[in-house]
Amino acid sequence: MLRGLALVTLSLLAFNAYAQDKRAYNNYMLHCQGCHLPQGKGALGAVPRLQNFVGYFLHSREGREFIAQVPGVTMSSLDNEELSELLNWMVRAYSEEQLPEQFEPYTSAEIAQLRKTPNPDPLGQRNSILDVVAEGLPVLADEIATDGYAY
């Protein structure tokens, strides 16, 4: 009986996680994909790729905030709950390998706070944030040395 209940609870949790991921993916398609393209591939020279990259930002507090303060995020018509869900899904789905080991998911309260102060100069601040992260992360330092900061 207890085992049965535990199984039901587990599968409900799994279903809930699945439903959240699906909603996040749909929201990505509707609200971000137009520019960032499927799989977060980005558009060379115009829109940053999220794929195999966006996770690097989560290695610093400034980078964590940066992701939630770019115009595409702060000005989105999604609410804070949907946005935190989307960002948590996006960094794992497109950039799991670049994430720090202890990635703390965004909360909707955090997003509510951050989006009140949009980043006035994302292009300028991006490079200094990445420089600091690269100091402790040779793989990113190599990437910058090879490709520069270009996207």
Q: Applying CB under 6 A, which residues contact ligand HEC?
A: 31-32, 34-36, 47-48, 53-54, 67, 70-73, 76, 86, 90, 122-123, 126, 151
CB of 15 to ligand HEC, least distance (A): 25
- Distance in angstroms (rounded) separating the CA atoms of residues 16 and 118: 31
Smallest separation (angstroms) from ligand HEC to the CB of 98: 11
Paired tokens of 140: 């990113």
Instruction: Tell me the angle at which helices 138-147 and 122-135 cross, rounded to the nearest 10 degrees.
Output: 130
Shorter beta-carbon distance to ligand HEC: residue 48 or 80: 48
Torsion of CA 105, 51, 41, 116, to 10 degrees: 30
Given the complex with ligand HEC, which of 59 and 126 has the nearer CB atom?
126
Q: Closest approach of Cβ 6 to ligand HEC, in Å?
A: 36
Decide whether 3 or 61 has the Cβ nearer to ligand HEC: 61
Burial of 16 (0-12, 13-18, 19+ CB in 10 A): exposed
Min dist. Cβ of residue 2 to ligand HEC (A): 42
CB 50 within 8 A of CB 40: yes
C-beta closer to ligand HEC: residue 19 or 123: 123
Residue nearest to ligand HEC (CB): 72
Instruction: With CA atoms as reference, report the closest residue to 139 among 93, 98, 100, 94.
Output: 98
Nearer to ligand HEC among residue 18 and residue 70 (C-beta):
70
Which pair of structure tokens corresponds to residue 147? 């490709």
